[in-house]
Every structure is written in structure tokens, then in C-alpha cells.
Amino acid sequence: MSKPIITTQNLKAYYITHAYGVERTVQAVDDISININAGEIYGIAGESGCGKSTLLKVLLGSFAPPLTVVGGSIAYHLDDQDIDGVNLPEDEKRDLRWKQISYIPQGSMHVLNPVRKIRDTFHDFISAHRTVTRKESLKMTSSYLRDLGLPDKVLGSYPHELSGGMRQRVTIALATILWPKLIFADEPTTALDVIVQRGVIQMLREVQQREGSTLVLITHDMGVHANLADRIAVLYAGKLVEEAPTRTILQEPRHPYTKFLIESLPSLEGREERNSIPGRPPALDHPPSGCRFHERCPLAKDICRTIDPEMITVGPSHRTACHVVAEELSHEPAI
């Protein structure tokens, strides 16, 4: 198997602020080790404030103080070259953007310049990385949009003349026009209605399959993950709690938090009240000791309150960090 396109080891990224001489740290990404393979769709799930957007910023290399990488490593493997993602100088990072690494922002964001026609925005983004004339960039854009099934007339439009769904599609096209190997998408379908969501999901898959790019998809919406992702990582309070292929996560989640997440998904068969997770996620400036989920966990034991659980392998490419699961596993007779 080829080398993973991104490898992080014990990655820690904290927000460190100094206000009136008091240092405050928010442990938004804490000790995360993941491998993302070339060509897969890797989903990152978790509720608001669990650190998934922070993880994305760090992986994308687009962050500034107060967010600081305090430990661990990020390695990219692009074009048969290993690149150290943490210590890469700013101009080399900028050089990678769009050609190799790209970013699709949330649909509700106003990422298109309101006073510039779509074709001019495309020209700005293309010419930042390639020497092209206005005519060449227009030709590129027009043929790419046609391939993606977008009408030609959007080129001459201003952003406010497009619908929300169309704007999000144009943004996806804008992010992927230079065929990046690695695409990060942050809540690409949030703020869109369900019908439009389906089209956008379809388009994301198309874009990803075209060049066999890697798509890192961040959303709190487990439905979108179920539709798109090959593998899913579940984050809770800045920690990775479970990672497995999509089917496994949906059918046999092991971590109590993941179980709650999956259970809260509505299904067509049952119409009973969905269980919601009791309590609320902890504040990350003073995370709870031990397992960060123990305050809300129905299975919590004494050990959970004091000792941070290790990542253990519980099945084929299925990892989780839970004392209860570890204990069950040790009692199971080895086959």
C-alpha cells in the first residue's frame, strides 16, 4: 500500500491567549494521530466545539496565533515528496495551495467577492498559480464548469445573482479548478436545504473521483458522512475517540459517544423519540481529567475519571479510545 497522503502523530494544537497577564490555553486539538490515504474520502465528525475545524485549519496549514501547534507532527506525502507540514515556511505553504492542497469553505460563507464577476474571480485564483491570459483562464473555467454541469451564464454573473446552492457549487469548482490532490471541505453542505445538499454531495464525489483526489470532509451531519465518506473519525472535546470504515462506524460503533451519535440519527423504520446525549460538551480550557467523555458517559467507571484512555485496535482498521471497550476486549476469550 502506498504512503498515506497525510500522517499526523500526537498532533496538539492549542489556542494560547494572554489577557491581563493570565495565560489561557484551549486544547482544541489534543494528541491526534491519524493517517489519511491517497484517494479516499475521510470524514471527520463531531459536535460543535469538538475541535474539528481547528484540526482542519492545522492540517491545511492556515493558522496564526493564538492557534499554535504545541506538539506532534504533520507529514504530507505529495508528488512522491515528504513535506513537514508544521515547519513549512509560509511562502512554500502558499505555493502548495490550490495546485496540491485546496479548501472548500462552508456554504453560508461569502467567499466570492461581491463586486467581481465569477469569471474574474476564477481568473484571479488561476493566475495566482499559473501564467495564463484572461482568455485561457476563461476557457479553462468554462470547460470545467460545463463538465460539472453548471450553466455557462454563471461566468458573467455576480455572486448575489446566484442562488445559495449555485454559489456553493461555484465555490467547489473554484477550489478544485487546478486539480488539487488533497481537498479539505469544511461543512460544505451546511446551510443548504436537503435537495440542494444532494446535488452538492454528488458534485463533491464527482470532483473527488475525477482525479482520484483525497477529500477530507468535515461535518457534524452524520447523514452526509454516511453518504460520502470511506472512513470516519469521531472527535470529542479535541480528542479522537473512534475511527473506522463508514459501514463499521454506522453498524457497530464501539465508543459510547459514537453510539449516541449514531443513535441520534433518524431512521425510516422507527419513529420513537431519539436519544440525545445528556449534558453538554466540556469547555476545552479546563478539560476534565481522564477520559474527556466520562461526565456524560453512562458506562463511566472510576478509571475513566483519572486515566486518559489509549487508542486500541478493536477490529480491522477500527480504533477507539475507551476503558470500557478495552476491558470487555480483555475478557473476551481469544479465538
Partner 1 sequence: MTLLRQYILPRIVQWFVVIFVGISITFLIPRLSPVNPVDNALGRLTSFQTMDPEASQQMRATLLDLYGLDGSIVDQYLNFWGRLIKGDLGPSFQSFPTPVMQIIGAGIGWTIGLLGTSILISWTLGLILGSLAGYFSNTWWAKLLERVVITIYPVPYYILAFILLMLFTYYWPLFPLVGGSRGEPAFTWEFISSVLYFGFLPALSLVIGGTAFRFIMAKALASTEMTSDYVQYADLAAVPKRKILFFYVIRNTMLPQVTDLALSLGALFEGALITEVVFGYPGVGYTLYNAINSGDYNIIMGITLLSIVGIATASLLVDLIYPFLDPRVRLR
Piece of the chain touching partner 1 by CB under 8 A; list 7-15, 81-89, 109-117, 201-209 = 109-117
Contact status, residue 171 vs residue 105, Cβ threshold 8 Å: yes
Would you count residue 226 as binding partner 1 (CB under 8 A)? no
Contacts of partner 1 in 125-184 (CB under 8 A): 125, 128-129, 158, 160-161
Other CB atoms within 10 Å distance of the CB of residue 152: 10
Side by side, the strands of the sheet bearing 81-84 are 22-36, 6-19, 67-78, 81-84
Q: Pick between residue 167 and residue 292 the one whose CB is nearest to partner 1.
A: 167
Q: Residue 111 and residue 196: Cα distance in Å, rounded?
A: 18
Whichever of 90 and 269 has its CB closer to partner 1, that residue is 90
Among 84, 124, 193, 327, binds partner 1 (CB under 8 A): 124
Report the side by side order of strands in the sheet with 214-218.
Answer: 101-104, 182-186, 214-218, 41-45, 231-236, 239-245, 318-320, 312-315
Can you tell me whether residue 74 is helix, strand or coil? strand
Closer Cβ to partner 1, 92 or 328, answer by number:
92
**C-alpha cell, 264:** 441520534
Residue from 3, 10, 70, 110 binding partner 1 (CB under 8 A): 110
Based on CB atoms, which residue is closest to partner 1, 168 or 320?
A: 168
Q: Annotate each residue in 23-62 with x if it binds partner 1 (CB under 8 A) or - if it does not, as one string.
A: -------------------------------------x-x
Binding site for partner 1 (CB under 8 A): 60, 62, 94-95, 97-98, 102-103, 105, 109-116, 120, 124-125, 128-129, 158, 160-161
